[in-house]
Amino acid sequence: MIKENISIDESVTIVKDVEKKVKTVGVRGLDFNQAKELGLFQRISNTLCVVHSCIVAAYRVYGDADYLLSEIGAKKNEIAKAMNDYERAFSKFFSFWTTYYTDANSKADVMKDTESLYHRLMDWADLPENWQLGDEQKLKRKNVAIKAEIDDDVYYFHTGTMESKEIGDAEETWCVTKYDRKEHKQTTVNVDLDKASAVMVAKRLSVNDTENIYTASRLRTVTEENTNVLPFKVYYQGNVIGNIKNIT
């Protein structure tokens, strides 16, 4: 499985803001220069960046509830106060730690960084992004063989792979990929190359196209032997609470 990373900003501006705030407040016994050298302020900055991205992504999810509560006229009194308190507290906290996130020139970049996180978050929660009244509440889960219920709890039993091993020799070739910095998308632009050609083509394309990033990449094709697991019946306290409908 290839791990898909999410870009989280690591602005030098944020690190400097953190350093300034801590220095201004003053911490007894803290060797400021040593802390800086050991990466303390960079670590605080990195964690704040991740927190901000998570909150911004969650804020988009929260927007659905905010919209629906407004539509039915329920966003008043205690509900309105709680939501307003949440929004003000969020803005106040990050305005204290850094001005970078509220900078007009950087706001678009920050939103791009959190866009993929938002989609991943909705998928993780099995929530449809474009939900209308009467629609299914949950997305259909992938590779689910059996759905079982115990009292108010729902359990999903998935198909999976118990063991996987390579058989035979791997086939290897090379390609060149292009990463579009505006669209944040990567595409393959040249295939069936050898290593030297891939390196040469990637370098040449990066010279001709100074806006984007090119990568010489190895393609490795292997044949695998898999042992798959397919749930058939689920038991709880001696009773069948779920079974598979079709076996293919």
Same-domain pairing of 22 and 119 = yes
Tell me: do 20 and 110 sit in the same domain: yes
87 shares a domain with 27: yes
Task: Give the sign of the dihedral formed by CA 99, CA 102, CA 105, CA 106.
Answer: positive
Question: For residues 92 and 174, which has the higher predicted lDDT (pLDDT)?
Answer: 174
Domain range for 238 = 144-156+231-243
Radius of gyration for the alpha carbons in the chain, expressed in angstroms and rounded: 25
238 and 206 in a single domain? The answer is no
- pLDDT of 6-58, one tens digit each? 666 656 678 888 888 888 888 889 998 999 999 999 998 888 888 888 888 88
Is pLDDT above 90 for 140? no
- 202: pLDDT strictly greater than 60: yes
Do both 93 and 170 map to the same domain? no
pLDDT at 75 over 60: yes
Does 133 fall in a domain?
no
How many domains, in total, are found in the chain?
Answer: 3
pLDDT in tens, 222-234: 999 999 999 999 9
**Can you give the pLDDT at residue 173?**
96
Whether 21 and 93 share a structural domain: yes
- The listed range with the strongest mean pLDDT (109-123, 145-159, 228-242) is 228-242
233, 240 contact by CB (below 8 A): yes
Long-range CB pairs of 210-217, under 8 A, 24+ apart, other chains included: 211/181, 211/182, 212/178, 212/179, 212/180, 212/181, 213/178, 213/179, 213/181, 214/176, 214/177, 214/178, 214/179, 214/189, 215/176, 215/177, 215/179, 216/174, 216/176, 217/174, 217/175, 217/176, 217/177
What's 141's DSSP letter?
P
205 and 238 share one domain = no
Do 120 and 150 share a domain, yes or no?
Answer: no
Q: Has residue 1 been placed in a domain?
A: no
Higher pLDDT, 37 or 142: 37
Give every CB contact of residue 231 below 8 A, 6+ residues apart in sequence.
145, 146, 157, 158, 159, 244
Residue 196 reports pLDDT greater than 60: yes
Residue 241 pLDDT > 50, yes or no? yes
Binned at pLDDT 50, 70 and 90, residue 134 comes out as confident
Q: Encoding tokens for residue 118?
A: 């938002």
Q: What is the pLDDT of residues 80-107, one digit of tens each?
A: 999 999 889 888 887 787 776 666 666 6
Same domain? For 199 and 109 the reply is no
pTM: 0.62
- What dihedral do alpha carbons 63, 68, 74, 78 form, nearest 10°? -20
* Within-domain flag for 194: yes
Same-domain pairing of 26 and 117 = yes
Q: Residue 2's pLDDT is what?
A: 42
Residue 167 lies in a domain: yes
Structural domain contains residue 135: no
* Least confident among 21-25, 110-114, 176-180: 110-114
Band of the pLDDT at 247, cuts 50, 70, 90? low
Whole-angstrom CA distances from 205 to 175, 190, 208 are 13, 11, 5
Q: Indicate whether 43 belongs to any domain.
A: yes
175 and 237 share one domain: no
When pLDDT is cut at 50, 70 and 90, the band that residue 1 belongs to is: very low
Residue at 134 is within a domain = no
Place of tokens 């069948």: 240
Residues 150, 114 within the same domain: no
Report yes or no on 4 lying in a domain: no
